[in-house]
Structure 1
Amino acid sequence: MRSQPAQALHLWGGKKLIYCGIDWAERTHDVALVDDTGQLLAKRHITDDAAGYRNLMDLLAEYGDTEETPIPVAIETSRGLLVAVLRVGKRKVFAINPMAAARYRDRHAVSRKKSDPGDALVLANILRTDMHAHRPLPNDSDLARAIAVLARAQQDAVWNRQQVANQLRSLLREYYPAALEAFAKWDNGLCRPEARELMKLAPTPAKAASLTRTQITAALKRAGRKRGIEADVERLREAFRTDWARQPELVEDALGKQTLALLGQLTAACTAAADLAQAVEEAFPQHPDSEIILSFPGLGIQLAARVLAEIGDDRTRFVDARGLKAYAGASPVTRASGKKSSITRRWVKNNRLNHAGYLWAFSAITASPGAKAHYRRRRDDHGDWHAAGQRNLFNRMLGQLHHCLKNRRLFDEQTAFPAPQAPASAVA
């Protein structure tokens, strides 16, 4: 169904406005265009390739899309090549939560019917009726988006590394507790290169017990150790030769092969995390906001990059600090009905930023006297538990970060956490 494009140009001078909805999929996408009266102007089925993208842009241009007055687009994702194509120029692209889109669908059909063209029409109508209630994708710089890719990938690599390490630890408990005892003294345990080198050399208790001092020394040196080798060699040799319960020989050998397989995954995860961390350390200092963010106590390059990755550098994204705090899940939410009301933590939030905030607040307590005093007041005077106290501290420091980024100022301890004034009676 299509009317004449000239009758519904997307202009802001008193003529009809056009809204676009795209129901995306892996290989094809459905597109719908509606005007400000809700009339369906056009629908199109395009492929997920360069030809399909050209068809989409031609369709938008046919209905009045220009560089100065682009047609806004609603889609259920914020990533991918299609979104990258749409975000060129001044176009506003709205990433609609699929759950929200499903609620809008019920407004148009109580029969609960569903189709891809119908979903595209629903998305277009969301912009027509409620565009003011949805936030367009932020206009972040290319550098900020690149840092976001690296920081999120590094965080995923760290989580994956820990997951594989936990699997390996669980396996070792079944047949090789001597290894866990030997590596328990080292920070990061199984993720240490010394531990991985020794496990590769001796994946079973029988092989570990037969290791000589020379073999252990060579393994530690291959892992990069230069000091304290002799003391560790004796400690490791004693741990490997301690009597423990053993699995049957055939079962032990099979478990050793499984350990080597998991060890390969762990080594790959450790390498990926280290390489991505290096990439973050090279990219993040190039951003103009890096100096301000790093001036805050408790933020190193990796954690600061994660914060920048989630808040971006579009200063118009959050009107005030309250919006940023709600987005991060740092501020509480109030639920009231009649005479009943409750104040609880937020469950709908940016989980990555919230996780970074937990680490940030935890580090700030020891890095900043003012942050530590604020945390202690929340615990002692307000009765907060540890997590609630840290969340309140994160909430306060987010507001300070918003202020510093907006006004281009570095963090100042005295301004952020002024010393409490003594009561007038005490001064007298």
Structure 2
Amino acid sequence: MRVITIGIDPHKSSHTAVAVDAAGHKISQRRFVVNDGTFQQLMRWSEQWPERRFAVEGAGGLGRTLAQQLAAADEDVVDVPSTLSARARLLATGGDRKTDPADALHVAQVALFRTDLRKVVREDQSTILRLLTERHNDLVNERTRITNRLHAVLRDLLPGGAPTRLSADKAATLMKGIRPITATDNCRRDIARDLLADLRRLDRQVKDNEAQMRDALAASRTTLTSLPGLGTVLAAKVLSHIGDVSRFPTEHHFASYTGSAPLDASSGKNIRHRLNTGGNRALNSALHIIAICQIRDGGRGQDYYRRKIAEGKTPTEARRALKRRLSNVVYRTMKRDQRKQLTAAA
């Protein structure tokens, strides 16, 4: 029996589905209004093809809810990046015409002829870590904004202003000595008190968030935190962005995904490589922080860095080389953890 591929172009208010045969020819299409019954309507419509697979554009974005519903129903679902469907649209006849049915058709065609698309699986511990790390980023950014604002207000209340690296306790100590003279300074002091209360609240929320991260990491049974320079927040970020490490066949594929592998830019007899500015920038940033910590704190990472410097590398080149090496270490650690978990479950 032939397998039918159903491409889905998701939007906030509607989802458009197009079914294609093995040759990529459209055989049916349907538009579904997004409401509580959308998933059931889609399944009833697709039941006419017992052998089917789904392709959802942006299964990590607008298509997340529908893709997760399909995965929970044990349907075969793949995630089609919008960049790939856009390329398919440009190569098609009338490629500048963008409609929902045409987009859904191109999503299905990409899934039909690409074998390297990510399979959508049910949300697991990595999703929880992703939510917690995103919340942590929001809290830290808000804390920085409040701290800067408090610093600016104290600058107008204290001779010489407040010191750098301002904390809630330091600010509270400084504010005890403030004796406003004018009504304007009274207003500044009141605002400073409000900002201090906000800062204390954010400190508590950050602390609670990191405690949740530690619990989630313990549930994932990872050993990443045993690596030098890789604490709770970074380990959570790495796991949340990688998910299932088995989707990377080799450490070289993994390094390409993290953007730590240089790109070949050779031409003729000139052999050269250039910096990879692509890949997952959040993971690349995490590797950069780990490298900086290892270079600063000593150990094998610092030894490797110094060896590269001795070979004539610039500090920047030596640091990039260390990031590439750390990418391999992270990959191997996650693969080893995965094997242990599979063995324990067997």
TM-score w.r.t. the length of structure 2 is: 0.83
Contact 1:18 1:71 in 2 (8 A): yes
Change (3 A) 1:18 1:111: closer
DSSP 3-state at the match of 1:112: coil
Counterpart contact for 2:55–2:80, Cα < 8 Å: no
| Residue 280 of structure 1, CA deviation | 0.7
CA drift at 1:285: 1.3
In structure 2, the partner of 1:209 is: 178
**Pairwise CA RMSD:** 3.2
For residue 142 of structure 1, what is the aligned residue in structure 2? 124
1:159 to 122, 141, 159: 141
Task: Tell whether the 8 Å contact from 2:53 to 2:77 is kept in structure 1 after alignment.
Answer: no
1:284 Cα deviation (Å)?
1.1
Residues 39-65 of structure 1 deviation map (CA, whole Å, 9 limit, x = unaligned): 212211113233011111222222225
Map residues 280-359 of structure 1 onto 2, 5 A cutoff.
Answer: 280-289=213-222, 292-312=223-243, 314-338=244-268, 342-359=272-289
Q: Hey, what does 2:92 align to over in structure 1?
A: 108
Q: Which residue does the alignment assign to 1:41?
A: 27
Could you tell me how far 1:318 is from its partner in structure 2? 0.8
CA deviation after TM superposition for structure 1 residue 332, in Å: 0.9
For 2:320 and 2:73, how far apart are their aligned partners in 1?
Answer: 38
Q: Tell me the secondary structure at the aligned position of residue 50 of structure 1.
A: coil
TM superposition shift of 1:366: 4.3
Aligned equivalent of 2:329: 400
Unaligned runs of 5+ in 1: 1-14, 203-207, 212-240, 242-248, 411-428
Q: Does 1:374 align with 2:307?
A: no
Instruction: Specify the code of the residue in structure 2 equivalent to 1:136.
Output: K
**Structure 1 pair 24/266, CA: closer, same or farther in 2 (3 Å)?**
farther
Tell me which amino acid in the other structure corresponds to 1:301. T
1:194 matched to which residue of 2?
Answer: 169
Could you say if the C-alpha distance between residues 256 and 107 of structure 1 is closer, same or farther in structure 2, counting changes exceeding 3 Å?
A: farther
Tell whether the 8 Å contact from 2:84 to 2:110 is kept in structure 1 after alignment.
no
Q: Are the structure 2 counterparts of residues 266 and 31 from structure 1 closer, same or farther at C-alpha, using a change threshold of 3 Å?
A: farther
Q: Tell me if the contact between 1:148 and 1:310 (Cα under 8 Å) persists in the aligned partners.
A: yes
Q: Secondary structure at the match of 2:265?
A: strand
Give 1:323 deviation, angstroms: 1.2
Contact 1:60-1:71 at 8 Å conserved across structures: no
Partner SS, residue 95 of structure 1? strand
**CA distance, structure 2, for counterparts of residue 180 and residue 331 of structure 1:** 47
Q: Summarize the Cα distance change of 1:101–1:166 in structure 2 as closer, same or farther, 3 Å threshold.
A: farther
1:353-382, CA deviations, whole angstroms, 9 ceiling, x for partnerless residues?
112111212222345521111011222323
Q: Please give the secondary structure, in 2, of the residue aligned with 1:209.
A: coil
Letter in 1 for 2:320: R
Deviation larger for 390-399 or 316-325 = 390-399
What letter corresponds to residue 285 of structure 1 in structure 2? Answer: A
Distance of aligned partners of 1:304 and 1:340 in 2 relative to their CA distance in 1, 3 Å threshold: same
Aligned in 2, Cα 1:47/1:176: closer, same or farther, shift over 3 Å? same
8 Å contact kept, 1:325–1:331: yes
1-side partners of 2:157 and 2:84: how far apart? 50
Q: Please list every run of 5 or more consecutive structure 2 residues that lacks an aligned counterpart in the other structure.
A: 340-346
Deviation at 1:321, TM superposition (A): 0.6
C-alpha distance in 2 between matches for 1:297 and 1:325: 19
- Does residue 383 (structure 1) correspond to residue 316 (structure 2)? The answer is no
Contact 1:328–1:350 (8 Å) recurs in 2:
yes
Rounded Cα–Cα distance in structure 2 between residues aligned with 1:167 and 1:112: 48
1:276 equivalent to 2:238? Answer no
Identify which of 48, 52, 63 aligns with 2:38. 52
In 2, the alpha carbon distance for the partners of 1:310 and 1:259 equals 38
1:347 & 1:179 partners in 2: Cα distance? 45
1:255, CA displacement in angstroms? 5.9
CA distances 1:378-399 after superposition (whole Å, capped 9, x unpaired): 223232324x433321221221
Which has the larger displacement, 39-48 or 340-349?
A: 340-349
The AA in structure 1 aligned to 2:210 is: A
The structure number with the bigger radius of gyration is 1
Secondary structure, in 3 states, of the residue corresponding to 1:43? strand
What residue is the counterpart of 1:81 in the other structure?
65
In the alignment, structure 1 residue 362 sits paired with structure 2 residue 301: no
Q: Please tell me whether the aligned partners of residues 304 and 322 of structure 2 are also in contact (alpha carbons under 8 angstroms).
A: yes
One-letter amino acid matched to 2:258: A
Displacement of 1:124 in angstroms is: 1.0
Q: Could you tell me whether the CA contact under 8 Å between 1:172 and 1:180 is conserved in 2?
A: no
Q: 2:343: which partner in 1?
A: none
Equivalent pair of 1:75/1:93 in contact (CA under 8 Å): no
After superposition, what is the alpha-carbon deviation per residue over 1:278-324, rounded to whole angstroms, capped at 9, x for unaligned?
111222112222xx212212222222222211222x24211011111
